[in-house]
Amino acid sequence: MSNPSASHRPSPEGTSPSAFLKGLKCRECGRLYDLAAIHVCDFCFGPLEVDYDYEAIRRVLTRDAIQKGPNSLWRYKHLLPVVNEPTIGLHAGMTPLLKADRLGKALGLKRLYIKNDTVNHPTLSFKDRVVAVAINRARELGFKTVACASTGNLANSVSAHAASAGMNCFVFIPHDLEAGKILGNLIYKPTVVAVKGNYDDVNRLCSEIGAEYPWAFVNINIRPYYAEGSKSMAFETAEQLGWRIPDQVVVPIASGSLLTKIWKGFQEFSSLGIVDAHPGLKVNGAQASGCSPVYQAFMAGRTQFVPVKPKTIAKSLAIGNPADGYYSLDVVGKSHGQVEAATDPEIVEGMVLLAETEGVFAETAGGVTVACLRKLAKKGAIRPDDLTVAYITGNGLKTMEALTGYLPEPVGIDPTLASFRKIVNPS
Amino acid sequence: MTRLRFHMTFPEERVKEPILYEISQKFRVVPNIRRADVSDSSGWVELELEGELPEIERTIDYLRKRGIHVDPLEKTILEG
């Protein structure tokens, strides 16, 4: 619950527009705002988005200029909402785009690629993109403290970036979260606040804290900037494909922001003439069955979705009331894509299939993407010759517990060559 | 006085009930609707509630007991 008067406190500095940023704009009513730490339109409560000066960008942004940039998402800095040269998160992005022939063969797809954010820097998930942008913008706005509410990837990335920036960091979690989930954060020395209450209570408290404390809450008051980092997934995909937009993409849906920003990234590149337009691009969404409000609305043909209580092993996608759920349905609809959902066993099968065919160990969200990709291919929604990119957003080392009981035991032998030979050649 | 912003989702069985009128009668809060979308099968409302904080909290508890899903305006903030 936001307190509007507090959220409109003037930012310490940096609200003047840059050469390429005009301000913030309401997605619903179009009202314009300064480039401040605000995220909601005062008038209609619609979400705010960054408003770029595309004419100015068009004059300087070329394929050549991009290729001369750093080997990170900052090669696209003209289309990212920072005013000054970035100083934090300099190595995020430019993750491999793998031609996935073996996985493609298993699924009947001849032109399949995997965008592999399991190796993103520094914390092995796509959150490193959005947080890199958020932290740079937060510093430009004069914030000394960053915060987030997260049980996993987001907390990791915010903690690591805050540490490297020398900023104070608060991470909010439910008090009953398993200790192992948060261990990877503690090494960065954030203040981890365990809130006595359920997920709804944590959610509500964070909204109130976000309104009251002069902190950069990355997915609250910094959200308009934070979310833009996801566009780099589309920019990199287009560049790595040889400056073209694919026919189909499969994107996991948590808040829905990644899916909408991938769409936006492709639209920006084509409208700026960096790549040819591809009106046939289909944007497909992937959810876990245990938390699938967008999938359920899609299947029912509704534009509204009903919030759910998450119950899935894909914790990084467990968002019961996704902020961009409506907008992701809109993108899927206008691109003639589809939304699929995967059960927990299907998620694990997807993780295993990706690992055994491509050597990529993805977290459960990757299992969701692969399982949904498989379903879309099987029902013909993705055809064998479609140039398809599946987005793998986090590393499997983060969700090892999901594999318990699913994988074969090691083969035991005596410490003799004879014993080993029996295993290799049982006959 | 406090003003807090919420996103409320109404299930089908509550869509036709004048619940926002009800809360303004039952509690000392002032609802101020900014955006809404209501159909036969469901609906959502984004609004501001103005009142003393304990009264707003009692209102939210009441709404949840009536089956209304109440989230902050930002919806789910807690991410994986």
User: pLDDT tens for residues A81-92?
Assistant: 999 999 999 999
List the domain boundaries for chain A: 1-53, 97-123+227-403, 142-221
The band of A151, judged by pLDDT with boundaries at 50, 70 and 90, is: confident
pLDDT for the residue numbered A17: 56
The answer to whether the Cβ–Cβ distance between A46 and B69 falls below 8 Å is no
Class of domain A97-123+227-403: alpha beta
ipTM > 0.90? yes
Which of A27, A40, A43, A45 should be substituted to probe chain B, the one whose Cβ sees the most B Cβ atoms within 10 Å? A45
The answer to whether the Cβ–Cβ distance between B69 and A148 falls below 8 Å is no
pLDDT for the residue numbered A44: 96
Strand ranges inside A161-222, DSSP E: 168-174, 191-195, 216-217
Across the range B35-62, mean pLDDT stands at: 94
Region of poorest pLDDT, from A81-90, A96-105, A404-413: A404-413
Tens digits of residue pLDDT in A53-83: 999 999 999 999 999 999 999 999 999 999 9
Domain B2-71: give its CATH architecture. Answer: 2-Layer Sandwich (3.30)
**Residue A177: closest C-alpha in chain B:** B80
| Nearest-angstrom CA–CA distance, A248 and A111 | 10
**Selected residues 6-25 of chain B with any CB under 8 Å from a CB in chain A:** 6-7, 9, 11
- A280, pLDDT greater than 60: yes
| Nearest-angstrom CA–CA distance, A251 and A327 | 14
pLDDT for the residue numbered A177: 80
**Residue B76: closest C-alpha in chain A:** A321
pLDDT for the residue numbered A169: 98
- A6, pLDDT greater than 70: no
The answer to whether the Cβ–Cβ distance between B34 and A44 falls below 8 Å is yes
For residue A223, list chain B residues with Cβ-Cβ distance below 8 A. 74
Q: Which of A255, A251, A176 is nearest to A220 (CA)?
A: A255
Task: Classify residue A299 as left (phi > 0), alpha (psi -120 to 50) or beta.
Answer: alpha
- A153, pLDDT greater than 50: yes
Question: Number of CB pairs < 8 Å for A and B?
Answer: 119
For residue B35, list chain A residues with Cβ-Cβ distance below 8 A. 28, 44-46
pLDDT for the residue numbered B42: 85
- A5, pLDDT greater than 70: no
The band of A174, judged by pLDDT with boundaries at 50, 70 and 90, is: confident
Region of poorest pLDDT, from A252-266, A275-289, A298-312, A323-337: A298-312
CA distance B52 to chain A (A): 13
| Whether CATH 3.40.50.1100 fits A142-221 | yes
Provide the token pair at A40.
């909601």
CA distance B8 to chain A (A): 10
Strand ranges inside A117-273, DSSP E: 145-149, 168-174, 191-195, 216-217, 248-252
pLDDT for the residue numbered B65: 95
CB-CB contact of A72 with A92 (8 Å): yes
The answer to whether the Cβ–Cβ distance between B4 and A254 falls below 8 Å is no
The answer to whether the Cβ–Cβ distance between A306 and B11 falls below 8 Å is yes
pTM of the model: 0.94
Strand ranges inside A5-88, DSSP E: 21-26, 32-33, 48-52
Percent of chain A with pLDDT over 90: 86
